[in-house]
Structure 1
Amino acid sequence: MELHTLWFVVIAVLWVGYFFLEGFDFGIGVLTGTLARDRAERRVLINTIGPVWDGNEVWLLTAGGATFAAFPDWYATLFSGFYLPLLAILVCLIVRGVAFEYRAKRPGERWQRNWEHAIFVSSLVVSVLWGVAFANIVRGVPIDATGEVVGGPLDLLSPYALLGGAVSLALFTLHGALFAALKTVGDIRVRARRWAGRLGLATGLLAAGFLGWTLAEADTARGVPALVVAGLALLGTLLANARGREGWAFLCSGVLVVAVVAMWFLTLFPQLLPSSLDPAWSLTVAESASSPYTLRIMTWCAALATPLVLLYQSWTYWVFRKRIGTQHLAPAAHGAGDAGAAA
């Protein structure tokens, strides 16, 4: 395998890891404004991801850095042509992170409620925008002969892209509901499973239309195996959730996320960003890659650092593996913040 192809695979794996881990983070954020019935339940949901949400974002930072170093032309075209949606994503991620950290800094109910609303809104917007962005990446945007995106921001809001945003929102919320069922106790656990059943059906309908549309317009059938895996994973998710097998249901939903993202990248290869104006102006893996020397250095660095990242993240999830419920909140949790949520 050539180095530029290897780094396309590495970047795809980084995005898979990001959406697998941060996907349920976003889902939990959305559920704080839908599943939770009161502030105590919102605190429980936030505490399920309190120790891990910031570590999950390492995958996004690494994917962005790897894209900049391995495919600078791809990075430059993406960040110029997708400037406004990527800026909106960045702002939402900043607001979301600040909300997690600042929510418990003051005991006032209004202060905490406003930050909890910020978590809900930012999680919802980011979930939609990631789907819109990747739908445009896979389908293509108007790139001219100089590698510049010549369309405006509204060109990114096609029916196909909006459907992609709906799929990512439904998928992440399903993933988050199953994580909530896996990590909580009591009534909220039961309702999370009930929500997951409904979300699974909605996700299946939306994803079937979106992925079918993607394959119909693609020039390759490489994404078909991933589509089959996605269908089987969704079926496994629904069956395991119906039987109360929360661990298996969450694992299957994770496979579903992996399959959907893998299908995007399989359909995209060997291009990085198709041009809707002229296929000859599309950015490709071979033509947009850095020098072989740069890719070799990156390969050695990745080989050394990746096991360490996987090790400390696995350890974090193991340490914070226990379930929580409203009975585990500190006595002041209904008025003052609990530190666990901002851990």
Structure 2
Amino acid sequence: MELHDVWFVLIAVLWIGYFFLEGFDFGIGVLTKLLARDRPEKRVLINTIGPVWDGNEVWLLTAGGATFAAFPEWYATLFSGFYLPLLIILVCLIVRGVAFEYRAKRPEENWQRNWEQAIFWTSLIPAFLWGVAFGNIVRGVKIDARHEYVGDFWDLLNPYALLGGLVTLTLFTFHGAVFAALKTVGDIRERARALATKLGLVAAVAALIFLLWTQVDKGDGWSLFAMLVAVVALVGAIGANSAGREGWSFALSGVTIAAAVAMLFLTLFPDVMPSTLNSDWSLTVTNASSSPYTLKIMTWCAAIAAPLVMAYQAWTYWVFRKRIGTQHIAPDHAAHSAH
């Protein structure tokens, strides 16, 4: 296996890690409006991700940086062609981070309500747009002989990509509901579990249609295996949630996300961005990669840094592993930001 193949796999792993971790972050943000009945319950939900949400976003930064260094042509074409949706995602992530920090800085009702609205929308919009973006990457876009995107924004809003957006939105929200049930106590835990079952059924229908569409259009034996793992894991997650086994349900919903993302990368390889104008103009792991020397240096750096980062993040989750409920929430005037 060549180093550019290795880095394609590593980038896929980084995106799997990002969607697994940030997926329930987005889901919790959406649930602040769908699940929480009052401000204390919203604060409970936000506090479940308070210690970890910023660490989860490191996976996105690493995935973007790895793509820039390992596949500069892929990065250039992707970020120029998908400029508007990626800019919207970036703005949402910035506003979302500010909202987490500033929400409880002042006690006024309007102040807190506006920041909570920001958390909801800046969670929902990226959760949808990531699916649209990856749907277009897998489907292929208008790339010319110079490896430049020559389509427009409206070309990205095709039925396959929009269905991909619906899948990520519903799947992340289900993932978040299961995480909420895992991390809370009392009535909010019971309602999170009930809502997770409903969300899981919606996500299962959307995901099955999307993955079957992908398999029929571009799949092979390996992608079929990944699809089956995703479907079985999602069914298992819904069943475990209904049985009150939140830990198993969360693990299986994570497996669902991992297998689904793996399937997309399996159907993509050896392309990184297929051209719908001419297959000879597609970006591949070969023609879009950096030099072998650059990839070699990156591999040594990743081998040293990655285990340290993952160990630190695992320790963070262990430290903040306990459940919380409204009884653990201080009065509004004494509230602290989710940090």
Q: Same fold (TM over 0.5)?
A: yes
Q: Distance in 2 between matches of 1:66 and 1:337?
A: 42
> Mapping of 1:150-165 within 5 angstroms?
150-165=150-165
Alignment partner, residue 112 of structure 1: 112
Q: Distance in 1 between matches of 2:268 and 2:6?
A: 15
Alignment partner, residue 338 of structure 2: 342
Matched, 1:25 2:22: no
**How far does residue 104 in structure 1 lie from its aligned partner after superposition?**
1.3
4+ runs of 1 displaced by more than 4 Å? none
Q: Distance in 1 between matches of 2:144 and 2:222?
A: 27
> Mapping of 1:280-319 within 5 angstroms?
280-319=280-319
Note the alpha carbon deviations across 1:248-280, whole angstroms, 9 max, x for none.
010000000101111110110000000011100
Q: Distance in 2 between matches of 1:215 and 1:234?
A: 17
Q: Distance in 2 between matches of 1:189 and 1:40?
A: 14
Q: Distance in 2 between matches of 1:112 and 1:238?
A: 34
State the number of aligned residues. Answer: 339
SS at match of 1:33: helix
Q: Distance in 2 between matches of 1:305 and 1:238?
A: 36
Alignment partner, residue 50 of structure 1: 50
SS at match of 1:324: coil
**How far does residue 243 in structure 1 lie from its aligned partner after superposition?**
0.9
Provide closer, same or farther for how the CA distance between residues 337 and 290 of structure 1 changes in structure 2, counting only shifts above 3 A: farther
Provide closer, same or farther for how the CA distance between residues 59 and 311 of structure 1 changes in structure 2, counting only shifts above 3 A: same
Contact 1:112 1:337 in 2 (8 A): no
SS at match of 1:37: coil
Q: Distance in 1 between matches of 2:192 and 2:118?
A: 21
Matched, 1:231 2:227: no
Matched, 1:275 2:275: yes
Q: Distance in 1 between matches of 2:221 and 2:34?
A: 38
Q: Distance in 2 between matches of 1:228 and 1:272?
A: 23
One-letter amino acid of the counterpart of residue 241, structure 1: N
One-letter amino acid of the counterpart of residue 236, structure 1: G
Q: Distance in 2 between matches of 1:293 and 1:151?
A: 34
5+ long unaligned stretches in structure 2: none
Alignment partner, residue 188 of structure 1: 188
Q: Distance in 1 between matches of 2:102 and 2:213?
A: 42
Matched, 1:170 2:166: no
Alignment partner, residue 70 of structure 1: 70
**How far does residue 338 in structure 1 lie from its aligned partner after superposition?**
2.3
Contact 1:36 1:42 in 2 (8 A): yes
Q: Distance in 1 between matches of 2:32 and 2:15?
A: 25
5+ long unaligned stretches in structure 1: none
Note the alpha carbon deviations across 1:83-116, whole angstroms, 9 max, x for none.
0000000000001000001111111121011001
One-letter amino acid of the counterpart of residue 335, structure 2: D
Percent identity between the aligned chains? 70
Contact 1:236 1:249 in 2 (8 A): yes
One-letter amino acid of the counterpart of residue 338, structure 1: A
Q: Distance in 1 between matches of 2:183 and 2:334?
A: 20
**How far does residue 238 in structure 1 lie from its aligned partner after superposition?**
1.4
Q: Distance in 2 between matches of 1:201 and 1:160?
A: 20
Contact 1:131 1:161 in 2 (8 A): yes
Note the alpha carbon deviations across 1:278-300, whole angstroms, 9 max, x for none.
10000000111100000000000
**How far does residue 219 in structure 1 lie from its aligned partner after superposition?**
5.6
Alignment partner, residue 247 of structure 2: 247
Q: TM-score, normalised by structure 1?
A: 0.98
**How far does residue 215 in structure 1 lie from its aligned partner after superposition?**
1.0
Q: Distance in 2 between matches of 1:61 and 1:227?
A: 27
**How far does residue 337 in structure 1 lie from its aligned partner after superposition?**
5.9
Q: Distance in 2 between matches of 1:222 and 1:311?
A: 30
Q: Distance in 1 between matches of 2:268 and 2:132?
A: 15
SS at match of 1:223: helix
Q: Distance in 1 between matches of 2:139 and 2:152?
A: 16
Note the alpha carbon deviations across 1:154-188, whole angstroms, 9 max, x for none.
10000111100000000000000000000000110
Question: Which is further off, 274-283 or 210-219?
Answer: 210-219
Q: Distance in 2 between matches of 1:148 and 1:306?
A: 32
SS at match of 2:287: helix
Provide closer, same or farther for how the CA distance between residues 337 and 116 of structure 1 changes in structure 2, counting only shifts above 3 A: farther
Q: Distance in 2 between matches of 1:99 and 1:221?
A: 44
Q: TM-score, normalised by structure 2?
A: 0.99
Alignment partner, residue 61 of structure 1: 61
Note the alpha carbon deviations across 1:98-155, whole angstroms, 9 max, x for none.
0001111111121011001100011000100000000000000000111111111010
**How far does residue 220 in structure 1 lie from its aligned partner after superposition?**
3.4
Provide closer, same or farther for how the CA distance between residues 219 and 44 of structure 1 changes in structure 2, counting only shifts above 3 A: closer
Q: Distance in 1 between matches of 2:286 and 2:150?
A: 23
SS at match of 2:88: helix
